[in-house]
Amino acid sequence: MKRRKASYLIPAMFGMLALNSPEAGAGQYSSVVARTNNNGKSVTTPVAWGASNNVVFMGIGGTSPSPYSKKSDGAAVLGAGIGDPKEIGVQVSLISLDVSAWKEYSTSVHLFRHLEDGDAIAVGVENVMLTDGGDSGKSFYIVYSRGVQDESVVNKASNTTKLHYSVGAGSGRFGDKSPADILTGKGPHGTYVFGNLAYEVAESFNVVTDWNGLNLNAGVSKSFEIGNIPFGVTIGLADLTDNSGDGVRFVGAAGFGFKL
């Protein structure tokens, strides 16, 4: 039986790294509206915010072990964001799906717009293969994200909100289970609906959880700066329920972004 590598999870992990930081070039809000904080807001699902205004970002992530395997798996990303998210922002990513061989590459495109009151909406496609190989098809999605503006969850010192959530729907990895899942009696399909929730429990430190259409995941995310360059690190546990996969596994990603 062909193993479905865990890299199908990795592309979604990079949109949560250092891309939503105002310092990294994300869209600006009025002084009345609290900005989204610059920490990761998801473990395995998209958020509507993204890179824009000539931001370049890089990252690497992985999972251990891969589903139905004792081996680990990893991926890397290089991407850029252009445009003004008050009109339309475009985030494009080039992804290496196998960092051990560097032979399989895909791309992802994320189109988004900032709305009022810390909201954003986006559509995108993940895992469009550029080379032979790969073991999961492309996935389309639409997602709405909100930075909650209630004064009880706003950090008045930084004018950022502590509470964020997203809801969306998609095809492919958001609902199609692997052949191994089907063979082990977990059924062929998930919900095709996904969501995530993030709350800042300490300065630059979010607790995050998400449902990716197949399974429940949870983790923590920390952001920091070296000079003027923002970095983000997110670690978590995937497949906390038995809807897919063969057990709980570790996932993590790290990356940075800078404005040209």
Q: In three state form, how does the secondary structure of 140-170 look?
A: EEEEEEEECCCHHHEECCCCEECEEEEEEEE
Residue 119 pairs in a beta bridge with 146
Which residue would you say has higher pLDDT here, 212 or 31? 212
Q: Which residues of 96-114 are buried (b: 16+ CB within 10 A; e: fewer)?
A: bbbbeeeebbbbbebbbbb
Q: How far apart are CA 150 and CA 199, in angstroms?
A: 13
List pLDDT tens digits, range 183-205: 999 999 999 999 999 999 998 89
41 falls within a domain = yes
Tell me what pLDDT residue 32 has: 62
62 falls within a domain = yes
Residues 97 and 134 sit within 8 Å (Cβ to Cβ):
yes
What average pLDDT does range 214-221 have in this prediction?
Answer: 94
Tell me what pLDDT residue 226 has: 86
Tell me what pLDDT residue 232 has: 87
Query: For the whole model, what pTM was predicted?
Result: 0.89
CATH number of the domain to which 227 belongs: 2.40.160.40
27 falls within a domain = yes
Strand pairing class (205-211; 193-202): antiparallel
Q: How far apart are CA 16 and CA 40, in angstroms?
A: 4
Number of structural domains, the chain?
Answer: 1
List pLDDT tens digits, range 61-97: 888 998 898 888 888 899 999 999 999 999 999 988 8
pLDDT level of residue 136 (50, 70, 90 thresholds): low
124 falls within a domain = yes
Q: How far apart are CA 213 and CA 188, in angstroms?
A: 12
Tell me what pLDDT residue 229 has: 83
List pLDDT tens digits, range 93-109: 998 887 877 888 999 99
203 falls within a domain = yes
Strand pairing class (163-170; 160-161): unpaired
pLDDT level of residue 7 (50, 70, 90 thresholds): very low
DSSP letter string, 68-129: TSSS-EEEEEEEEEEEETTTEEEEEEEEES-TTT---EEEEEEEEEE-STTEEEEEEEEEEE
Tell me what pLDDT residue 98 has: 79
Q: What average pLDDT does the structure give for the chain?
A: 85
193 falls within a domain = yes
Q: Write down the residue that tokens 């950022």 correspond to.
A: 160
Domain ranges, residue 208? 6-259
1 falls within a domain = no
